[in-house]
Structure 1
C-alpha cells in the first residue's frame, strides 16, 4: 500500500525522547525528519485515506474525523511536554520526504520567526456560556390561560425582554472577562461562538477566546479565571489547556475538533 508523509508539527531539535508508546494516525509511531536545523514530526499514512480525492470523502465522516483529530492532538500534546511545537493543520500530507523538505525550505524563515515568538508559551482557551434555564413547572390551566389577546401579547413581551436582559448581561460579563484576561496574556484571539449543535456543549456560547500565556505565568492565569467562575449566576466559564499555540501559529484549524 502506498504511503504518504503526514506532518503533525515543526519544531526545533529537542533532546528529550518522545514516549516510547506514543502513536499517531492509524497507530503509527511518529518519526523525525530533520532539515536545515528544524524538525518535522511525521508518520506514514495510507494514500487510500489521505490523497486529495480520498480526503474529500473522509472529511464528511465525522467519526473518522474525530478519531484522526484525537490522534493528531495526542502527538502534539506529547511534543508540548518536551519542546515548543508549531502545529500544522489536520491532514497535512506530502508525497515523500523530499517534498516535505522542500516545504520546510520554502517556509523556513516563517517557521523560525514563529518558533522564536512561541518559545516557552502555551495557549489557554476560555469559553463563556449563558446557561439554559430549567424547565418551569407547568402552571394550572386557569392561571396559564391568558385573559385576553392583549394579556397574551404582554406576557410574550415580558418573556422576550427577560431573555434580552439576560443575553445583554452575559455579553457584558464576557467583555469584562476578556479585558481582564487579556492584560496578563501576551496575545489573544477571539474565535466565532461555537454552534451548540456541533459542539454538544450546553448553553449559548457568548465568548470563545484563546490567550497566549508564558508557561511560567500559567498558574496565575488559571487562578484569575477560577476567581471569575462564580461572579455571574446563570453564566458558566470553562477553561481548557494548556495547548500548543494553535491560534497563534496560523495553523489553528488543526485541533478544532478536540479543543
Structure 2
C-alpha cells in the first residue's frame, strides 16, 4: 500500500495505476477502475503519461485501505480492478504497473512526484517494449504414506521386535524416497529454468509458495517469471511442452502478462 503525502484532506485523491508513453483516452473511459465514481483517465507529465482516477479521499485514506484490504473479497476486487486498467493501457504500448493503492493528494502532487522518476520510467519502458511476461511453476509430488501393517505375533509385553524393525525400515525407506524425489524435482526445476532462460531476455526466480492444504502431496520447487519478446510466445509454449515430455515434470505455465516482475522498484 502506498499512500503518499500528508493525510488526505481534500474531497478527492488521485489514484495512479500505471505509467506509459501514451494512452488513448477512449481506451480508459469504459473502465470502472478502483473507485467507480470518477472516470479513469490519462494524466500527462512531461513526455510520459500516468493512468489515474480520482477517488473519494475519505474512502481511500490509509486507515480505510487497511480496513478494505483486510477483507479477502474486497482485496481481490481491488486487485482485479487495478489489473484490468493496467492491462487495458498495456494493449496500446509498454506500460509500467504501479503498486496497488498508489495515492496522491491531487493531480498536481502526482505529476510532481512522477516527474522525479521520469528517467527511470523511460529506462524501464524501453526495456519492456514489445515484451511480455510468462510465469512458470514446477511441482514435486511426495509419495503417500503407506498404511501401517497389522501387528503380528507379540511378545509377553505385547511388543513385536520384528514389527518394530519393519516399521522403522519402512519409515526410513519412505523418507529416502521422498528425499530422492525432491532432489530429482530440484534438478528438473534447474533444467526447466535453464531452457526457458535461453528463450527469454530476462528472468526472475520468485519465492515458492507453501503447500496448499487441499494438495498436501504437491510441493512447488520453482516459481519463476520470464521476460520474452512478444513474437516468441509460441516458442515458450513449445519449450514447456517438450520439457513436460522429456522430464515428466508437473509444470504449469501462464501468460502472457504485463511484465509486473520486470519493472523493478519504479514506484514513487
TM-score scaled by length of structure 2: 0.83
SS in 2 for 1:192: coil
User: Can you give the 5+ residue segments of structure 2 that lack an aligned partner in the other structure?
Assistant: 1-9, 153-159
User: Can you give the 5+ residue segments of structure 1 that lack an aligned partner in the other structure?
Assistant: 254-259
Post-superposition Cα deviations, 1:8-64, rounded to whole Å, max 9, x if no partner, equal 100001458416532211435421111101110111223233212222333322221
Q: What CA distance in whole angstroms lies between the structure 2 residues aligned with 1:34 and 1:199?
A: 47
Q: Which runs of 4+ in 1 moved over 6 A?
A: 198-202
Q: Is the 8 A contact 1:49 1:58 kept in 2?
A: no
Please say if 1:247 is aligned against 2:261: yes
* Structure 2 residue aligned with 1:162: 177
Aligned ranges 1:70-219 → 2 under 5 Å: 70-131=80-141, 133=143, 141=150, 147-197=162-212, 203-219=218-234
Which fold has the larger relative contact order, with Cα–Cα distance below 8 Å and residues 6 or more apart in sequence? 1
Q: How many residues align?
A: 250
Q: Is the 8 A contact 1:87 1:251 kept in 2?
A: no
Q: What CA distance in whole angstroms lies between the structure 2 residues aligned with 1:202 and 1:80?
A: 38
Q: What CA distance in whole angstroms lies between the structure 1 residues aligned with 2:214 and 2:119?
A: 36
TM-score scaled by length of structure 1: 0.86
Match of 1:9 among 7, 18, 21: 18
Post-superposition Cα deviations, 1:58-91, rounded to whole Å, max 9, x if no partner, equal 3322221111111111112212222111010111
Instruction: Give 1 or 2 for the bigger CA radius of gyration.
Output: 2
